[in-house]
Structure formats: C-alpha cells, structure tokens
Amino acid sequence: MQHVLSNQWARWLVPSLCDLFFLAILGWTFLGGPYGWQGLLADGDAGWHIRTGEYILDHHAVPRQDLYSFSKPGAPWYAWEWLTDVIDASLFRMSGLKGVVLLAGLVIAAFVVSLLLRMIWRGAHPLIAIATALIGYGAASVHFLARPHVFTLLLLSISVWMVDRDRDAPTRRIWLLVPLTVLWTNLHGGFLSLIAILGLTAMGSAVEAWLGPRTWKTSLRYAALMAACFAASFVNPYGYRLHQHVAEYLRSDWIRNVVQEFQSPIFRGEAMLQFEALLLVGVMVAGALFRRRRVVHGLWILYFAHMALGSGRHVPLFVCVAAPLVAVQVSEWYLALTANARKSSLLGILNQVAADSAAGFERTSVWPFATVAALILIGNPIKWPTDFPEQMFPVRMAHAHAAQILDSRVLTTDQWGDYLIFMNPRQKVFIDGRSDFYGPEIGQQYLRMTNGTWDWAALMAKNNFNLVLLPIESPLVQLLKRDPGWRIVEDDGARILLARR
C-alpha cells in the first residue's frame, strides 16, 4: 500500500512532459518574450471590451445602443461578446490589466497544449508532434491577443477532439457540444466554426458511407448534432440578430478591404512563413486522406485552408484543425521510412526514446496548478501591465491632456480611440475599433480626413473637430501643421496633439 501511495505522490509531484510543455509555452511567450504579458494588449479593442463589461456589471443589462461615439449617437449597437466582456471587466476590477492578460495567456497556453495532446492521442510520433505544435503555435501567434477570440481557439480544439473521439467510438457525450455552444456563442462569434466542422463531418460521413464501411446513420447523427448546436446558438441576449450580424460582418466588402486581419495573409513575417509550411504539408496530407477514403478529415483541412487564405484572422483556426492531422500523417510517413532502422542506429534510438516518452503526455502533476497560483499571487518581479503599451498607444500624452481630450471632439485613429475609451469610458470618439458598427460611411470619412484628400477640410468642419491626436507621419498632420487655424499642443516625435485655435 505504501508503495502504491508513494507512486501516487510521485505522479503528482514529478512534472510530466505535458506539464513541461505547458510551462515552456508560458515562459517562452510571456515571461521571456520581447513584449511579455503586455504584448497581449497590442490591440486596443481590449479597452472597450473591458469598459463594456463594466457597463453590464453596473446596469445588469447588455447595451442595445452605442455607448462611445459622437459620430453615431444613440445608434443601435449590441455587445455580441458580452460574456467575455463581463469576465474581463470582473478580472480588471479585481486585479487590473494583470487579470485580463493572465486569463488570455493561460487560455492561449492551454490551446497550444491541447494541440499537442490531440496529436499524441492520435498516435503521432512525440518528436514530430512537438515540432508540429510549435510550428502551429508560431503561425497562430499572429492573433494572440487579450480579445474574445482566444476562447474560440481553445473551444474549437476541444470540440474537434470530441468529434474525433466520437467518430472512433460514438457515445452520448458528444451531445455536450450543445450546451458548450450556448457558452461559446456568448463568448465569441467563432462558434460558427463548430457549426462548419459538424456540417463538414456530416457531408464527409455521407461520402464515406457511399464509398465504404461507414453507415448513413453516421451522417445523420452529425447533421442532427449540427442542427441542435445551431439552435442552441440562439440562446443569447440578442437572439437571431447575432447571426444576422455575423453574416453581414463576414460578407462586408468594406471590412475585408480596410481591416488588415480580414485580408489575405502576407507571407513575409516568420509567423506567416510557418503558416505557409503548415499549409503546404496540410494540402498534401488532405490528398493522402482522400486516397484512404478519410473524407471528413480531408474536408476539414481544405475548408479551413480556404478560409485562412482569404483572411489572416482564420489562420489560427486552420492551425487548430489541421496541425494534429498533419502531425499524425507525417508520423506515419516517417515511421514507414524508418521501419527497418536498426535499434542501435540513431533513428532507432530516437524512435525508442519517442515511444517511451509518449506516456509522459498522458498525465499531469501539481506543477501547472502551482504555477498558475503563483502567477496569480506574484506581483514583482514580473512586469505585469498597468496600462496599454506606450510604443503602440499615446499613453503618456493622453493622460497628460486627459481633461482637454474629454471635453473635445477629437479625431484619432480607431485603435487610439479604443484606448481613449479605456482611459475614460465617458469619452466620446469619432471612430474606434468597432468597424462593423461604424460601417463604410463613417469609415470612409475617417480615411479621407486622415489621408488628407481633397475634401478633408470640409469633413473636419462638418464634424466640428477641435482636437486631433494622430501619428506624426499622418498626411493630415502635415496639412494641419501649416494651417494657421491649428496649433501644436504637444509633439513627442511619434505622435502629435493639435488643437483648433
């Protein structure tokens, strides 16, 4: 009995390979990275999400009219991701921005670990699984931000895993996806990716039934599950309006043309090169899957590859769906090539080490929980953010002139508008990061003014701006610096604040 007890204690006290991978991702990304935890605040949308959550907490109701603009006062607006807003606002009130970024960081780390565990569960070679998970992590890092979409990354990975397990051994547990959809819908609009997965699974299962061993009941099962999950998504404060909004959002040419994350990826940066490598191998894997009549998995890869090529925002979703399938297929190719390797050879030794280490990914210990508890309790020496990053937002300048900005009709960028809302929720802005709310009418005015087109002065007068806060290189800044009707309040070499005389 003592021997068993000591083994049980050892399982809890000795970190597993899974634990070490989780801790490595946290350390690499947030403790040792160039931006640390503050890098999660590189997008200003986190600011208005926090303030919207506070509004919901204070009023015990979700907003149905705009709270932040003077360009569309009183216009209908809905906090589609209200539950994430409430979570972030609650954490912000308890521990400031530390709580917001810590939750986002832990969700991201859990997402990456879930990729690795799915690969190991499917029988991928552990070394190939780790390499593929790290490549996927790098590709998905383009969207690692403290915003609601991080919940979609983790929930999509969990959902795909549940569908995969159910296809191998059907159980009633798969219907847990229905209540999961209710939660997901109120966290982020990415719940539609689950509907897509279930639809592709139903279609692929029908093709597999036509080609071979599966029955038509499998296709009907997933079609029914898709319908149930879609129906569950209507359990939100706005009902069908949420689906109407998401459909318009995804179809909007305006958003696709002006919002960078909705544009096709540019294969230049390191993250996009990692995505390119995963994409090319993924297409080859899809071909191999189709040849083996594994139609469902092939459809998953091709559909999300298509989505990712159309919008950089969908690259992490492609990683979530495709990376485990790539790792498993590459492992099969590798093992076929090295099947005759002698045990004493380098390849034979690596294969044996990998086989022996697989069990280390099937358990956990106390260390991840202890690390999370320590991060919650520790202040210094960790550099937790107390504000948004100064190198990306006019933090010092905005605070130095806070009263003047609050009393003015200020023209600033959409991201800086987000920050002004965070700095003071009573601030009214011309535009912020809610591009879907402002639409092309306000958006085009903003672009024409900041780019200094022929009608910039008329638009400035029409909107009665008396303050401008913009990057120093903005074309409008160069025009206003020569305009006697405007004066420079402060210029720090990177951004400038101008006031109308």
Average pLDDT over residues 131-160: 94
Contacts of 367 (CB under 8 A, 6+ apart): 15, 19, 23
* 272-300 pLDDT tens trace: 999 999 999 999 999 999 999 999 999 99
Question: Domain check: are 360 and 402 in the same one?
Answer: no
Domain finish residue from 369, 386, 410: 369
123 Rama sector, left if φ>0, alpha if ψ -120 to 50, beta otherwise: left
Task: Report whether pLDDT(4) > 70.
Answer: no
Which residue range forms the structural domain that includes residue 478?
A: 395-500
Question: Domain check: are 277 and 316 in the same one?
Answer: yes
Number of domains in the chain: 2
487: part of which helix (H) or strand (E)? Answer: strand 486-491
Domain finish residue from 369, 404, 430: 369
Task: Report whether pLDDT(1) > 70.
Answer: no
Question: Domain check: are 228 and 140 in the same one?
Answer: yes
Question: Domain check: are 291 and 326 in the same one?
Answer: yes
What is the C-alpha to C-alpha distance for residues 481 and 497, in angstroms, rounded to an integer? Answer: 11
Residue 167 lies in a domain: yes
Question: Domain check: are 61 and 121 in the same one?
Answer: yes
% of the chain beyond a pLDDT of 90: 72
Question: Domain check: are 32 and 139 in the same one?
Answer: yes
Task: Report whether pLDDT(152) > 90.
Answer: yes
Task: Report whether pLDDT(129) > 60.
Answer: yes
Helices (H) and strands (E) in the chain, counts: 23, 4
* 185-210 pLDDT tens trace: 999 999 999 999 999 999 999 999 98
Question: Domain check: are 184 and 259 in the same one?
Answer: yes
Domain finish residue from 369, 386, 421: 369
pLDDT bin (cut points 50, 70, 90) of residue 5 is very low
* 113-122 pLDDT tens trace: 999 999 999 9
Residue 378 lies in a domain: no
Question: Domain check: are 347 and 422 in the same one?
Answer: no
Residue 209 lies in a domain: yes
Question: Domain check: are 354 and 402 in the same one?
Answer: no
- Structure tokens belonging to residue 78: 């809905």
CA 120 to chain centre: 24
Question: Domain check: are 342 and 450 in the same one?
Answer: no
State the DSSP string of 129-184: HHHHHHHHHHHHGGG-SSSTHHHHHHHHHHHHHHHHHHHHS--GGGGGHHHHHHHH
Question: Domain check: are 30 and 146 in the same one?
Answer: yes
Say how many CA atoms lie within 13 Å of 299 toward its Cβ. Answer: 17
Residue 1 lies in a domain: no
Q: Is 435 helix (H, G, I), strand (E, B) or coil?
A: helix
Question: Domain check: are 118 and 256 in the same one?
Answer: yes
Residue 389 lies in a domain: no
What is the C-alpha to C-alpha distance for residues 419 and 400, in angstroms, rounded to an integer? Answer: 14
